[in-house]
Chains A and B, each alone.
Chain A
Amino acid sequence: MKANTMKSNKIKSNAIAYFIAICLTNIMLFGCDTDNNASELGQAVTFEKLREQGLFIESLTINDDHIRLTKGETHQLSAMALTNSGDVIDVTESIDWSSSDNSIATVNEQGLVTAVANSSNNQGIVIIMGTSINGIVDEGEISVSDVAVSAINLIHPQPEEGTIGTCVATNITANVNYEDGYISMNTIKDISFSLDSNTSATIDKNGTLYTSSPDIETTIITGTLDDITDSLTVVADPLNVGHLDILLDDIVTDDITLAIGERILVNGQATLTNTTLPSSIDNTIVWSQESGDYLGITTTGDNKGTLVGLIAGTTQLVGSCGGNQTTATVSVTGTAELDSIKINKGSDITLASSESVDLTLTAYYTDTPTSLNVSEFAHWSVSDTSLVTVELIDLGTNTASYQLTNISKSTDEVIVTVTYAGESSTINITLE
């Protein structure tokens, strides 16, 4: 009897315990999470982090807008932000981009606009909006239409008026008027630029003008778009070119040492009298050496300013622009002496019509370095320049070569002669 009562109590107590456990499990699994502001709180923490890092955006500006595209074209917008630390930073890839009409133009996460369809409605204008993580918004305008150009007007946005500073690269752009009244602002899209024949300035396909004359120089720039042209007269004044510096590894230097065969890159900068920060003048500075042929200097191209030690000795590297110059003493070290030179392709080559060959001249030394590509620093000549075109390519690299292309209409022969450090070599090329 007593045993039955105890067994009954145990079953009862176990049932109560299991009931409580089941209740609690249900509460855990099915109890609703209360509403809270965790998302807003998390955002506040993110903003505080940005403030602490000086990256909290106070204002936003979309650039490179006010441009007309036609269906299928793309255009890269950029966005700059003023932060709580006072810095202006590029936020093109960190803001949210959106388009007011995706049927006319779309924009991706990197600010690249794609024209989807030409539109005549409201001049084809689409608003592109950029929004920062903390909700700061700016808008840009893009137009998509195939209406013809009616006029172009070349400008140099900085400075908007007056002379430009010699040695400092200047961007030339255009305001382009279309027949429906729309105006693309500050664009270089599809515009080809050319300069008058009397100027020493140069301009690249992006409309960047490089000037280096020691005197005040007038340059006439012509821009052409769809057979419509405009000219802009620009006066470059070297008055504001203060002093020049030579940089090695971004540090101003006046003493450089390199071994025979060693290759280094130097840069030029100018401090203008009307500014405190120096400007890069890599594209306008003219490099030379004061005496001898101790150095090989790349004077043009993407690798302009590349130096190679060729002969042991000391010389002065001279950088000049706008009538100012700066020098650095360059010591080329080593005991190697030139032994011989050799063209890579042997003595005779046959070249088919329109075919090209890259000729490389290698100098052989008595000591380290035992060989060196000196193609860029040798003097090349061709017996008949009407039969071939020639170009030095890959300047400033150890793969530089003299590229020769057959443009002859008949079977001919040219002789290529190369001279380096008093040594000569020739190669006969049969043109088919």
Chain B
Amino acid sequence: MIKIISWLLLISFSFPSTAKSPLVDSTYVGVDYILSSIELRDERAKPSATAFRIGANKERIGLEAQYLRGNNTDNIYRMEFDLEQSIALYLVLQSKTISGFGLDVSLGYAVTDMTVQGPAETYNGEDTYSGFSWGITFHQKISYIENTQLRFGYQSLYKDDDISISGISLGVIYQF
């Protein structure tokens, strides 16, 4: 699965060079600050993270790759949660842009690495959480900086019966 995602990421990274090509309408890069939420048994750790994204779209359907890196750690009781990194690939469905404002819905797959450290009687280990990921993002064109948009969104990186990894993001993208 990692190999497939890496291969698709390579395709995505090649998009900027094909900006305005017959294959795509536009390409973009962006960076987000993410306040993540790792929820287990009604308890939450909230480490922050930075996400880098690159994508391309054609006729309001896009392909987007995201790389997320944890900025710091947070604790649930004596257990320290470190969101090491996450790699994700999304199919992005884009709304029409009205007065510079638009809405994106992302559906994809994410591979998230998380390390937990605590006293011996608790839990220690690094685990990978892979599966369906989705997000919703509102974006607004910044009128005084050309080709730039401000975006605010929510994304779920992983969810099962025991754990939920999600985040609220705030960032900018630059469109080529």
Complex Cα distance, B129 from A45, in Å, reads 17
| CB of A81, distance to nearest CB on chain B (Å) | 17
Binary interface encoding of chain A residues 131-152 relative to chain B, with 1 for a CB under 8 A from any of its CBs, else 0: 0000000000000000000000
Contact B116 A41 (CB under 8 A): yes
Complex Cα distance, B163 from A39, in Å, reads 8
B4, B8, B22, B160: the one contacting A9 at CB < 8 Å is B22
Contact B8 A31 (CB under 8 A): no
Contact B79 A45 (CB under 8 A): yes
Q: Which residues in B have their C-beta under 8 angstroms from that of A89?
A: none
Complex Cα distance, B129 from A20, in Å, reads 24
Q: Which residues in B have their C-beta under 8 angstroms from that of A36?
A: 127-129, 163
Contact A28 B107 (CB under 8 A): yes
Q: Which residues in A have their C-beta under 8 angstroms from that of B125?
A: 37
Q: Which 5 A-B pairs have the closest CB atoms?
A: A44-B123, A38-B162, A48-B77, A34-B130, A33-B131
| CB of A268, distance to nearest CB on chain B (Å) | 44
B40 within 8 A of A: yes
| 13-49 of chain B: CB within 8 A of chain A | 21-24, 40-41, 43
| 29 residue pairs bridging A and B, Cβ less than 8 Å apart | A13-B24, A13-B58, A14-B58, A20-B11, A20-B63, A21-B61, A23-B8, A24-B109, A25-B91, A27-B1, A27-B4, A27-B5, A28-B108, A28-B109, A31-B1, A33-B131, A33-B160, A36-B127, A36-B128, A37-B127, A38-B127, A38-B160, A40-B123, A41-B162, A42-B40, A44-B118, A45-B76, A48-B77, A48-B79
Q: Which residues in A have their C-beta under 8 angstroms from that of B121?
A: 47
- Interface size of A in residues (CB-CB distance below 8 Å): 34
| Chain B residues engaging chain A, CB cutoff 8 angstroms | 1, 4-5, 8, 11, 21-24, 40-41, 43, 58-59, 61, 63, 76-79, 89-91, 107-109, 111, 116, 118, 121-123, 125, 127-132, 160-163
Contact A41 B89 (CB under 8 A): no
Q: Which residues in A have their C-beta under 8 angstroms from that of B109?
A: 24, 27-28, 31
**Complex: chain B residue closest to A39, CB-CB:** B162
Complex Cα distance, B109 from A24, in Å, reads 8
Contact B58 A17 (CB under 8 A): yes
B8, B24, B122, B163: the one contacting A38 at CB < 8 Å is B163
Binary interface encoding of chain A residues 1-39 relative to chain B, with 1 for a CB under 8 A from any of its CBs, else 0: 000000001101110110011011101110111101111
Complex Cα distance, B131 from A155, in Å, reads 65
Contact B43 A17 (CB under 8 A): no
A49 within 8 A of B: yes
Contact A48 B63 (CB under 8 A): no
A46 within 8 A of B: yes
Q: Which residues in A have their C-beta under 8 angstroms from that of B58?
A: 13-14, 17
Q: Which residues in A have their C-beta under 8 angstroms from that of B21?
A: 13
Q: Which residues in B have their C-beta under 8 angstroms from that of A20?
A: 8, 11, 63
**Complex: chain B residue closest to A25, CB-CB:** B91
| Chain A residues engaging chain B, CB cutoff 8 angstroms | 9-10, 12-14, 16-17, 20-21, 23-25, 27-29, 31-34, 36-42, 44-49, 51-52
Q: Which residues in A have their C-beta under 8 angstroms from that of B23?
A: 13, 16-17
Q: Which residues in B have their C-beta under 8 angstroms from that of A39?
A: 161-162
When A13-B23, A44-B79 are in contact, do A31 and B130 touch as well, CB less than 8 Å?
yes
Complex Cα distance, B78 from A51, in Å, reads 10
| CB of A15, distance to nearest CB on chain B (Å) | 10
Q: Which residues in A have their C-beta under 8 angstroms from that of B160?
A: 33, 38
B59, B78, B127, B130: the one contacting A48 at CB < 8 Å is B78
Q: Which residues in B have their C-beta under 8 angstroms from that of A27?
A: 1, 4-5, 8, 89, 108-109
| CB of A239, distance to nearest CB on chain B (Å) | 48
Complex Cα distance, B77 from A12, in Å, reads 56
Q: Which residues in A have their C-beta under 8 angstroms from that of B59?
A: 14, 17
Contact B1 A17 (CB under 8 A): no
Complex Cα distance, B111 from A96, in Å, reads 37
| CB of A432, distance to nearest CB on chain B (Å) | 69
Complex Cα distance, B61 from A16, in Å, reads 12
Contact A45 B40 (CB under 8 A): yes
Complex Cα distance, B23 from A9, in Å, reads 9
Contact A13 B77 (CB under 8 A): no
Complex Cα distance, B77 from A16, in Å, reads 50
A10, A21, A23, A42: the one contacting B162 at CB < 8 Å is A42
Contact B89 A24 (CB under 8 A): yes
| CB of A273, distance to nearest CB on chain B (Å) | 43
Contact A24 B63 (CB under 8 A): yes
| CB of A94, distance to nearest CB on chain B (Å) | 16
| CB of A22, distance to nearest CB on chain B (Å) | 10
| CB of B41, distance to nearest CB on chain A (Å) | 5
Complex Cα distance, B117 from A41, in Å, reads 11
Complex Cα distance, B40 from A45, in Å, reads 7
Q: Which residues in B have their C-beta under 8 angstroms from that of A32?
A: 1, 130
Contact B41 A17 (CB under 8 A): no
Contact B127 A24 (CB under 8 A): no
Q: Which residues in B have their C-beta under 8 angstroms from that of A40?
A: 123
| CB of A61, distance to nearest CB on chain B (Å) | 22
**Complex: chain A residue closest to B2, CB-CB:** A34
Q: Which residues in B have their C-beta under 8 angstroms from that of A47?
A: 121-122
Complex Cα distance, B116 from A45, in Å, reads 11
When A13-B58, A38-B163 are in contact, do A49 and B108 touch as well, CB less than 8 Å?
no
Contact A48 B22 (CB under 8 A): no
Contact A38 B129 (CB under 8 A): yes
Contact B129 A34 (CB under 8 A): yes
| CB of A58, distance to nearest CB on chain B (Å) | 12
